[in-house]
Amino acid sequence: MASYRDYLAWERLPHLWCAGCGHGVILKALTLALAALEVPPDKVVVASGIGCSGRIGDYVTTHRFQGTHGRTLAFATGIHLARPEVKVICVMGDGDAAAIGGNHLIHAARRNVDLTAIVPNNLNYGMTGGQFSPLTPPASISSTSRQGKAEPAFDICHLAVVAGASYVARTTVYHVTEMQKFLQEAILKKGFSLLEVLTPCPTYYGRYNALGEAAQMLEWLNRSVIPLARYRQMSGDEARYWWRGRLVDREAPDFLSRLKGAG
Amino acid sequence: MVILILPAKTGKQRHIAIHLDHNLCKRCGICVAFCPQGVFVTGDDGYPVVAATEKCTGCQLCFYRCPDFAVEVEVDK
Amino acid sequence: MATFFWQGNEACAYGAMAAGARFFAGYPISPSSEIAELCSRLLPEREGIYVQMEDEIASLAAVIGASVGGMRAFTATSGPGFSLMQENLGFAVMAEVPCVIIHAQRFGPATGIATAPAQADVMQARWGTHGDYQMLVLSPSSVQECYDLTVAAFNLAERFRSPVILLTDAALAHLRETVTVSDTPPPRHCRPQPEGDSALYRPYAPGPDLIPAMAAFGDCYIQRVTGLVHDEQGYSSSAPAVAAGLVRRLQEKILLYQDELPSPVYTGPEEPEILLVSYGISVRAAQAAAQRAQAWGHRVGCLRLRALWPFPEAVIGDWARRVRAVLVVEMNYGQLRREVELAVAGRCRVSGVNRYDAEVVTSGEILAALTKS
Ligand SMILES: Cc1ncc(C[n+]2csc(CCOP(=O)(O)OP(=O)(O)O)c2C)c(N)n1
Ligand code: SF4
Ligand code: SF4
Ligand code: SF4
């Protein structure tokens, strides 16, 4: 039986993330999911972008790839096509995945490349000091929106569904068991899977928006999400919540199968 | 680290060990806030302290939620 | 031996196949599109993969990913696309990922003239991405050389664990010439492979010639690739000593072995008075002009550069001692001339024959300039 310990580079700890940062919880869930699935570490590539979350590769015993900001899915497409037997798990912050990498996300989902994309959504750019991202809720305070963010946000999960992803889900680091379950499903899924994980950045988003310390932020996250089925029945109140759950889980040929079929 | 033996609901004895690693803990307070049984309290130095060992049910929530790999709960059945 | 009548782009694509390329990712752009079109046919026939990405940033990213997966991978583009590739070109330098970028130069800046030739991206190829690094850049001047130097580019990429840029241009890309191809496949240089205990493998520990052994994803040797400054284990680091050591090794792994690059080729009288220095498509006019001048009794020779970067400074410096004047023939406002001036260091006169009107330089223009030298 594999243990999560086998996937963690213990000698690299403590990690560089702030106290209470959710990125560590996601790292743990990932190692637990890999152990549960018993994927050998040398058959996994953790590919990440640039940002606090992008440092995840420094703490795993699997293969690791850290590309340029926003381009992870494009690199990963090449890795996957060259080594289809290896699980490529991409970890990209909300800035990385939704802003600079938005186009790559659309096309990786459209091609249905057999990759797993994890988007730790901490509602801001952590690494660069708490500026707003495309996923930052409107009116939020950030280091570049002191009066409240003027732009709207968008739902990256719905984007992935419309683009063609095979599996799309959202949860939070509060919901640890659900996170691990969704992760396992996403990793096993043939085709493009995306899991958005709402996660606290107490250092910036939490502080700017007076949401308290890590524990209070987790409480706040828990209060701010409702299960997808209930969300769908809401009328009028949706803007105050995030839904959580499995948005899509469907079968469709993945990119490499299509390529080989056409060849 | 605390090792305790407590009578489980079945009447059988369970051995539960809670390991806290001060080298990794960043004193975020998550384990203290979310243990359903109130097993932890915050010490004077800000680190969590296992205060009510006998209440631990081995639910592992503190382990899952600790962002820093600083707490582990070992349950022997 | 077999002969073909290929255009420059075709010769590049077939050269890549001969060199063992199995992965192409690109985005269509004139005047390089024929390479992508041909690869979309040739690669699936060879168990290879062609993918058309959403832009050139993604194209080079996918190429890099495939290369770390163990495939010989390349892309082809032109001006605007080459600009977009600069980000990941630097990544390939830093992460030491072998890959080949064929860049058919077109008239710029910006969208410029899509179908017109220029040689104005010589400096961009050298310095386009940020940071402190060496770049390997080859410049073919005939369709035969498009084939030969593409093969060389793949081998150099593997040899140095580095991106290699092949600079052609709109004229050469579409020029048709006879190409001779040997029946035996060209020799293949492969990236050094890790050996021994996998637990002891350090992805960026320098091996022979300063090149680290390169595991592929999925091997039992755990590979850690990053564009951040990294230690020998492949873990990110911001320690000044680690940064300095890395930058020094990245420089020296190329500079100390520069003589392995295709050297400049001289044609002309043994003791020339005037030396024409040229590269790429302009070489043809330079050689024609030199021959004409020789027929008129002038001692004019022509030096054809095949590797532009690292610049063959020593070779140019030697020639500077032997000639009265050097004329640099290129299709830009005078980019490589400055580099020649540095190498010449005042030992002889340096001037340029420059064309920057979207037309190829002619031997007549060079002869006119020669009469003034
Ligand atoms: C091309 C480019 N632009 C900007 C940056 C600077 N940068 C580094 S990380 C980052 C954003 C990080 O935010 P996010 O992706 O949400 O990840 P987080 O740090 O919050 O985990 C930015 C803008 C960069 N590295 N590269
Ligand atoms: S700045 Fe925010 S996202 Fe970055 S490590 Fe700190 S808490 Fe985490
Ligand atoms: S295992 Fe559960 S009950 Fe025991 S200390 Fe941890 S959170 Fe509390
Ligand atoms: S959750 Fe972990 S890091 Fe936070 S206080 Fe508890 S043991 Fe320390």
C89-113 pLDDT, tens per residue? Answer: 999 999 999 999 999 999 999 999 9
Q: Which two tokens stand for residue A116?
A: 């797993």
User: Cβ–Cβ contacts within 10 Å for residue C296, how many?
Assistant: 10
Q: How many CB atoms lie within 10 A of CB A156?
A: 22
Q: Is the CB of B73 under 6 A from ligand 3?
A: yes
Provide the CATH number for the domain around residue B13. Answer: 3.30.70.20
User: Could you state, in order of their start, the residue ranges of all structural domains in chain C?
Assistant: 1-262, 265-370
Distance from CA of A68 to the nearest CA of C (A): 7
Residues with CB under 6 A from ligand 2: A 17-18, 21, 23, 52, 122, 126, 201-204
Q: Which residue from A minimizes the CA distance to C224?
A: A64
Q: Determine the pLDDT at residue A238.
A: 83
- The response to whether residue A95 sits with its C-beta less than 6 Å from ligand 1 reads yes
A229 CB near a chain C CB, below 8 Å? no
State the smallest CA–CA distance between residue C269 and chain A in angstroms. Answer: 50
Distance of alpha carbon B77 from alpha carbon B74, whole angstroms: 10
Tell me: pLDDT of C245 over 70: yes
User: CB-based contact (8 Å) between A43 and chain C?
Assistant: yes
User: Regarding beta strands C349-354 and C325-330, do their DSSP bridges make them parallel or antiparallel, or are they unpaired?
Assistant: parallel
Other beta carbons within 10 Å of C278 = 29
| Confidence band of B3 (pLDDT split at 50, 70, 90) | very low
B–C contact: 3+ Cβ pairs < 8 A:
no
Average pLDDT estimate for C319-348: 98
pLDDT at position B11 is 55
**Looking at the domain that runs over C265-370, which CATH code has it been given?**
3.40.50.920
- Using the beta-carbon criterion (under 8 Å), do A24 and B68 form an inter-chain contact? yes
Task: Quote the domain boundaries for residue A121.
Answer: 4-262
How far does B9 lie from chain A, in Å, by closest CA? 24
A190 touches chain B (CB under 8 A): no
**Best residue of B64, B66, B72, B73 to probe chain A, by most A CBs closer than 10 Å:** B64
Could you count the other beta carbons within 10 Å of the beta carbon of residue C225? Answer: 29
Q: What is the pLDDT of residue B5?
A: 43
Tell me the average pLDDT of chain C: 98
Position C373 scores a pLDDT of 77
Distance of alpha carbon C369 from the chain centroid: 29
Are the beta carbons of A65 and C88 separated by less than 8 Å?
A: no
CA distances from A73 to B50, C99, C200 (A): 43, 18, 30
Tell me, what's the pLDDT at B4?
A: 46
Model pLDDT for residues B5-30, shown as the tens digit of each residue: 444 455 566 789 999 999 999 999 99
DSSP H or E segment with residue C34: helix C33-45
Probe ligand 3: pick from B60, B71, B72, B74, max atoms within 8 Å of CB? Answer: B60
Q: State the burial class of residue B44 (Cβ atoms within 10 Å of its Cβ: 0-12, 13-18, 19+).
A: exposed
CA Rg value for chain A:
17
Q: In what order do the strands lie in the sheet with A193-198?
A: A225-227, A242-249, A167-172, A193-198, A116-121, A87-91, A44-48, A63-66, C224-226
CATH of C1-262, one of 3.40.50.970, 3.40.50.2300, 3.30.70.920, 3.40.50.150: 3.40.50.970
Q: Is A55 near chain B, with CB under 8 Å?
A: no
Report which bound ligand comes closest to the CA of B20.
4
State the 10-residue block means of pLDDT for chain A, 263 residues long. 97 98 98 98 98 98 98 98 98 98 98 98 98 98 98 97 98 98 98 98 98 97 97 89 98 97 68
Asked whether the CA dihedral C335, C340, C346, C351 is positive or negative, the reply is negative
Which of A26, A58, A128, A142 most suits a substitution to test ligand 1, by most atoms within 8 Å of the C-beta?
A: A128
**What end-to-end distance do the CA atoms of chain C give, in Å?**
43
pTM for this one? Answer: 0.97
Q: How many domains does chain B have?
A: 1
pLDDT digits (tens, 9 = 90+) for C134-161: 999 999 999 999 999 999 999 999 999 9
Nearest residue (by CA) to ligand 2, atom 4, is A126
The count of structural domains within chain A is: 1
DSSP reduced 3-state for C327: strand
Note which residues in 76-95 of chain A have CB less than 8 A from chain C: 76-83, 85-86
Query: Which of C100, C96, C99 is CA-nearest to residue C215?
Result: C96
Enumerate the residues of chain C whose CB falls inside 8 A of the CB of residue A107. 53-54, 58
For the stretch C228-237, pLDDT in tens is 999 999 999 9
A73 forms beta bridges with none
Count other C-beta atoms under 10 Å from residue A251's C-beta. Answer: 10
Ligand number nearest to the C-alpha of C228: 1
Chains that touch C (3 or more CB pairs under 8 A): A
Ligand nearest to the CA of B29: 4
In percent, how much of chain C has pLDDT > 90? 99
For the CA of B39, the nearest ligand: 3
Domain span including residue B20: 2-76
Number of Cβ within a 10 Å radius of residue C221: 22
pLDDT tens track for B58-77: 999 999 999 999 999 999 86
The pair of structure tokens assigned to B11 is: 């009447």
Q: Which residues, including other chains, have CB under 8 Å from residue C241's CB and lie 6 or more apart?
A: none
Give the pLDDT of residue B9: 52
Are the C-beta atoms of C281 and C360 separated by less than 8 Å?
Answer: yes
Interface residue B28 vs chain A (CB under 8 A): yes
CB of B26 closer than 6 A to ligand 4?
yes
CATH number at residue A93: 3.40.50.970
Q: Inform me whether the pLDDT recorded for C80 exceeds 80.
A: yes
B61 vs A contacts (CB less than 8 Å): 176
Closest CA to C326 of C358, C357, C350: C350
C226 interaction partners in chain A (CB closer than 8 Å)? 57, 64-66
Please give the Cα distance from A48 to A96 (Å, whole number). Answer: 9
Over chain B, what HEC string results?
CEEEEEECCCCCEEEEEEEECCCCCCCCCHHHHHCCCCCEEECCCCCEEECCHHHCCCCCHHHHHCCCCCEEEEEEC
Do the domains C1-262 and C265-370 sit in the same CATH topology, yes or no? Answer: yes
Give B-chain residues touching A61 at CB under 8 angstroms: none
